[in-house]
Amino acid sequence: MRLVLAFFLIAAALAATPASAGPILDRIRAEGVVRCGGVERPGLIAVEDSGKAAGLELDLCRAIAAAVLGPNGRLEFRRYDSEKAFASVRAGGDDVSFLTGREMIDNGLTAKMIAGPAIFVETMAVIVPNESPIQHLEQLANHPICFALLQRAQDHLTSWFAARHLEFVRMGFQEDGEMNDAYAVNYCGGLAGEATTLADTRATGELAKSQHRFLPETLASYPIVAATDVRDGEWAAIVAWTIDTLVQAETTETEWTLGGLDSLRVNAPELGLGQGWQKRLVDQVGAYAELYERNLGAKSELKLARGVNAPVALGGALAAPYTE
């Protein structure tokens, strides 16, 4: 009888004990901190030497920490600016890495990380002075266009013009300062680069003294994703559902579909995401639209229009995977 009673007591204890999570999730809960990192881009992330960070990716990291650790969850953020930094990523030094597919491939991360949800779609674009007669990119055919040699703007410009059997004059620069100065004195008809960098360039320095606009054509577009270690699918699920929740929170209700968090509730107690966690998360950090406006949009220096980063219902490409 005692043996039977002991068996039931042990079985009950095991049933009451949560199953062990994955190694990343276990470590995060034990240490109470989420570690994130990314390649610096204006509005997305900037990390000072002191460690102080700001940008959309920091806010998303804060949201992820809040989802898994609660409102007092801690976070750390570091920039990826060297081979040493990427070596640490390959070794599993961070819990969430905000990267493009090319950054993952070029740094040997394709077998190390799960490419999670897109947090921002970067575009390669061209700006011109407001007073320029140029309204479309094809009008810059046979004109000089400035670009940074360290980015892939030259490749995208070449592909775009070649597809239309057109040519342009290549004006590549090693130094951003020299490139911006050349553009400022009209040495180039347009300035090509990533949209976040161009938005920052026109908002600061000499270019801030005049007005500049984006041409409507996009040379290329590519998502920045929240990548996580392949060793822990449970952690990857938490990261994905958290970002999806922030994106879904700004969708609007229509005559035929629900909007916002009412469109589909995600309850996953097995991951530690209990009833009502989505509402608590959005109440604490805000929906994606609020994070965007503060870091990249109208409330920031960049004044970068949502464009492809608007919800699908508003003509963009941003969508949670459960909008049906």
pLDDT in tens, the chain (324 residues): 443 333 333 333 333 334 457 899 999 999 999 999 999 999 999 998 888 899 999 999 999 999 999 988 899 999 999 999 999 999 999 999 999 999 999 999 999 999 999 999 999 999 999 999 999 999 999 999 999 998 799 999 999 999 999 999 999 999 999 999 999 999 999 999 999 999 999 998 889 989 999 999 999 999 999 999 999 999 999 999 999 999 988 877 666 666 677 667 788 888 888 888 998 899 999 999 999 999 999 999 999 999 999 988 778 888 877 655
Its sign, for the CA torsion 273, 277, 278, 282, is: negative
- pLDDT recorded at residue 40: 97
Does pTM top 0.85 for this prediction?
Answer: yes
Instruction: Indicate the burial class of 254 (C-beta count within 10 angstroms; 0-12, 13-18, 19 or more).
Output: exposed
- pLDDT recorded at residue 261: 73
- pLDDT recorded at residue 156: 97
- The DSSP 8-state label assigned to residue 71 in this structure reads T
- pLDDT recorded at residue 255: 65
What is the spatial distance between Cα 114 and Cα 112, in angstroms, rounded to a whole number? 7
Q: 123-221 — its CATH code?
A: 3.40.190.10
Measured CA distances, 164 to 146, 158, 188, 249 (Å): 20, 10, 21, 41
- pLDDT recorded at residue 305: 94
- pLDDT recorded at residue 2: 41
Q: Which amino acid is at 117?
A: P
- pLDDT recorded at residue 319: 80
> Contact 132/212 with Cβ under 8 angstroms?
no
- pLDDT recorded at residue 11: 38
Residues of the chain with CATH 3.40.190.10: 18-121+223-314, 123-221
What is the spatial distance between Cα 230 and Cα 159, in angstroms, rounded to a whole number? 34
Measured CA distances, 238 to 79, 248, 259, 270, 289 (Å): 23, 15, 22, 11, 20
Residue with tokens 């040495």: 187
Q: 18-121+223-314 — its CATH code?
A: 3.40.190.10
Its sign, for the CA torsion 109, 111, 116, 122, is: positive
